[in-house]
Amino acid sequence: MKKVILILCIGLLLGACKKAETTILCMETSLGNIWLKLYEDTPLHRENLLKLVREGYYNGILFHRVIQHFMIQAGDPESKHAHPDMLLGEGDIGYTIPAEILPKHYHKRGVLAAAREGDEVNPARESSGSHFYIVQGKVFTPESLNREIEKINNRRYTALFNRIKAGREGEIEKYQLADDYENLMRINQEISDSTRSRFEKVKLELSEEQRQIYLTQGGTPHLDGEYTVFGEVIEGMEIIDKIAAVQTDENDRPETDVIIQKIEIVNNMPR
Domain containing 126 — which CATH number?
2.40.100.10
CB 153 within 8 A of CB 202: no
* Beta carbons within 10 angstroms of residue 20's beta carbon: 9
Q: Is residue 21 part of a domain?
A: yes
pLDDT score, position 150 = 97
Q: Is residue 182 part of a domain?
A: yes
Q: Is residue 7 part of a domain?
A: yes
* Beta carbons within 10 angstroms of residue 14's beta carbon: 11
Q: How far apart are CA 102 and CA 104, in angstroms?
A: 5
Is residue 69 located within the same domain as residue 177?
Answer: no
pLDDT score, position 6 = 43
Q: How many residues does the chain have?
A: 271
Radius of gyration of the chain (CA): 21
Burial class (CB in 10 A: 0-12, 13-18, 19+), 219: buried
Is residue 194 located within the same domain as residue 94?
Answer: no
Is residue 169 located within the same domain as residue 256?
Answer: no
Is residue 65 located within the same domain as residue 95?
Answer: yes
Long-range contacts of 18-23 (CB under 8 A, 24+ apart): 21/267, 22/267, 23/50, 23/265, 23/267
Is residue 198 located within the same domain as residue 223?
Answer: no
In sequence order, the 6+-apart residues with CB closer than 8 A to the CB of 144 are none
Q: Is residue 122 part of a domain?
A: yes
pLDDT score, position 270 = 62
Is residue 101 located within the same domain as residue 32?
Answer: yes
Q: Considering only CA atoms, which of 95, 93, 113 is closest in space to residue 105?
A: 113
Give the mean pLDDT per block of 10 residues along the chain (271 residues).
46 48 92 98 98 98 98 97 93 96 97 94 95 98 97 95 94 95 96 95 93 98 96 98 98 97 86 63
Is residue 80 located within the same domain as residue 165?
Answer: no
Number of domains in the chain: 2
Is residue 242 located within the same domain as residue 192?
Answer: no
Q: How far apart are CA 216 and CA 150, in angstroms?
A: 20
Is residue 60 located within the same domain as residue 28?
Answer: yes
Q: Is residue 112 part of a domain?
A: yes
Is residue 60 located within the same domain as residue 107?
Answer: yes
pLDDT score, position 18 = 46
pLDDT score, position 271 = 63
pLDDT score, position 20 = 47
Is residue 9 located within the same domain as residue 68?
Answer: yes
Q: In degrees to the nearest 10, what's the CA dihedral of 230, 49, 250, 246? A: 80
Is residue 75 located within the same domain as residue 114?
Answer: yes
Q: Write the DSSP symbol of residue 1.
A: -
Question: Could you tell me the residue range of the domain that residue 182 belongs to?
Answer: 161-202
Q: Is residue 83 part of a domain?
A: yes
pLDDT score, position 119 = 87
Which alpha helices (H) appear in 33-180, and where do they start and end? Answer: 43-55, 142-166, 169-177
Q: Is residue 153 part of a domain?
A: no
Q: Is residue 150 part of a domain?
A: no
pLDDT score, position 120 = 85
Sign, CA torsion 83/84/85/91: positive
pLDDT score, position 12 = 54
